[in-house]
């Protein structure tokens, strides 16, 4: 289904508009090709396909591409800066003198730690975002829905 335009242009205006836009369309396409080429070169350098600048590790018998080494070092350091600990929240009991409230607060804290470490996996998510940002200049998250049944409860993650 095509979008119909309500704007009526005279043949002279159409020619002028065509002359203005004719030069910009290839420029827009060329800009996109430049961005795509840069992303392809970044990915090729990370995989080590088009370059011979490898880093020979002392502990491994294989070569690691230098670009991958730089990217992974940045990803590791960036993740440590963004998430120094998986416990980036605080849980306090409502009544600090009540032992039962302290146990409930500790239980809530343990559940949140489990949730962020095991279920949501924040470290791997942040690493994936940083790596994708370095390689492709944009951060893309692969997401999905997982349904777990435990007894009568249905959990959706």
Strand partners, 155: 148
Residues in the chain, overall count? 157
- Separation of CA 13 from chain center: 45
Q: What is the pLDDT of residue 54?
A: 53
What are 101-112's pLDDT values in tens digits?
A: 888 888 888 888
Nearest to 100 by CA among 90, 111, 112, 108: 108
Q: CA angle 135-75-58, nearest 5°?
A: 105
**End-to-end CA, the chain:** 38
**pTM of the predicted model over 0.75:** no
Of residues 149 and 4, the one with the higher pLDDT is: 149
Give CA–CA dist 63/109, Å, rounded.
Answer: 43
Q: What are the Cα distances from residue 114, in Å, to 21, 117, 121, 126, 150? A: 56, 5, 9, 17, 16
What are 112-146's pLDDT values in tens digits?
A: 888 888 878 888 889 999 999 988 888 888 777 77
- pLDDT classification of 148: cutoffs 50, 70, 90: confident
Q: And the tokens for 134?
A: 């370095």
What are 17-36's pLDDT values in tens digits?
A: 888 888 787 777 788 888 88
Could you write out the DSSP letters of every residue in 13-47?
HHHHHHHHHHHHHHHHHHHHHHHHHHHHHHHHHHH
Q: What are the Cα distances from residue 144, in Å, to 101, 117, 121, 141, 157? A: 36, 17, 13, 10, 8
């Amino acid at each position: 289904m095509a979008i119909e335009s309500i704007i009526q242009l005279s043949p002279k205006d159409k020619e002028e508009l065509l002359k203005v836009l004719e030069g910009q369309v290839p420029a827009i396409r060329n800009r996109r090709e430049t961005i795509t080429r840069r992303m392809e070169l970044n990915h090729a350098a990370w995989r080590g396909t088009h370059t011979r600048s490898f880093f020979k590790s002392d502990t491994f018998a294989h070569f690691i591409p230098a670009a991958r080494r730089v990217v992974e070092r940045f990803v590791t350091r960036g993740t440590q800066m963004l998430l120094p600990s998986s416990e980036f929240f605080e849980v306090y009991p409502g009544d600090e003198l009540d032992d039962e409230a302290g146990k409930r607060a500790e239980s809530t804290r343990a559940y949140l730690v489990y949730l962020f470490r095991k279920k949501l996996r924040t470290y791997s998510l942040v690493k994936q975002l940083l790596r994708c940002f370095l390689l492709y200049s944009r951060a893309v998250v692969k997401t999905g829905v997982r349904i777990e049944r435990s007894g009568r409860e249905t959990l959706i993650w």
